[in-house]
Amino acid sequence: GQQLNQSPQSMFIQEGEDVSMNCTSSSIFNTWLWYKQDPGEGPVLLIALYKAGELTSNGRLTAQFGITRKDSFLNISASVPSDVGIYFCAGPRDDKIIFGKGTRLHILP
Amino acid sequence: DSGVTQTPKHLITATGQRVTLRCSPRSGDLSVYWYQQSLDQGLQFLIQYYNGEERAKGNILERFSAQQFPDLHSELNLSSLELGDSALYFCASNSGGGEQFFGPGTRLTVL
């Protein structure tokens, strides 16, 4: 079936560092979505990308729709403690949304 | 606040029992999606309803069923519960675009 592969699976960083994560697929997506899930909460949409090559920012977050339409990247600048959580990429497919398994972000004290 | 509501927030029950989880979509959204998330796992798509009709099915067990009512709220029924059914259950809604908006989830614990 369709799969979205996210890497890394988890990250341990210091507060203030920049973060990069990515999501790849063996097939093309026409929309890429990035969600964040806080512990015990539902995922919240961070950024939606609709066009190959598109670069979109939301505060300290920047996401890019890969030119091949088979990948997407999420960057977080100057991380803060509230960035802790799981980041999911997702893409619509046949009335469903396919989710990656997530990148778990930890911030070291 | 996504505008999607789910009740109850927490549910504790025993094996073999049956429970019903409820979801109200965002105002105006016709589609409701149900997901299961086990501990430290990703989101597993269960089923989608659109305007009262089943639209898509994922890895939903035969012991599970869902429906969407005329007022567009949806219920997920889980029966003959097993320990492995313990998980977070999320519903999401949208109005036809790619983005889905998630509710806060119901945490089900089966003892």
Query: For B10-34, how does the pLDDT look when each residue is reduced to its tens digit (9 = 90+)?
Result: 999 999 999 999 999 999 999 999 9
> Does residue B90 sit at the A interface (CB-CB below 8 Å)?
yes
Is the pLDDT assigned to residue A93 strictly greater than 90? Answer: no
CB contact (8 A) between residue A42 and residue B105: yes
Question: pLDDT category, B36, cuts 50, 70, 90?
Answer: very high
pLDDT of residue A40: 82
Lowest-confidence segment of A8-17, B35-44, B86-95 by average pLDDT: B35-44
Q: Residue A51 contacts by C-beta under 8 Å, 6 or more apart in sequence?
A: A65
Average pLDDT of the segment spanning B39-47: 84
pLDDT of residue A96: 78
> Does residue B107 sit at the A interface (CB-CB below 8 Å)?
yes
Question: pLDDT category, B59, cuts 50, 70, 90?
Answer: confident
Is residue A52 within 8 Å of A67, Cβ to Cβ? yes
B chain contacts of residue A48, beta-carbon cutoff 8 Å = 98-99
Average per-residue pLDDT for chain A: 93
pLDDT of residue A26: 92
pLDDT of residue A95: 72
Q: Residue B58 contacts by C-beta under 8 Å, 6 or more apart in sequence?
A: A96, B44, B45, B46, B47
CB contact (8 A) between residue B43 and residue A99: yes
Q: Give the whole-angstrom CA distance, residue B94 versus residue B8.
A: 21
A/B interface, count of CB pairs below 8 Å:
52
Length of chain A: 109
> Does residue B46 sit at the A interface (CB-CB below 8 Å)?
no
**How far is the CA of A93 from the CAs of A43, A73, B20, B85, in angstroms?**
18, 19, 28, 26
Is the pLDDT assigned to residue A2 strictly greater than 80? Answer: no
Is residue A90 within 8 Å of A99, Cβ to Cβ? yes
Bridge partners of A45, per DSSP, are A35
Is the pLDDT assigned to residue B97 strictly greater than 80? Answer: no
Average pLDDT of the segment spanning A41-45: 91
Lowest-confidence segment of A8-22, A68-82, B40-54 by average pLDDT: B40-54
Maximum Cα–Cα distance across chain B? 39
Structure tokens, A56? 């979109």
> Does residue B25 sit at the A interface (CB-CB below 8 Å)?
no
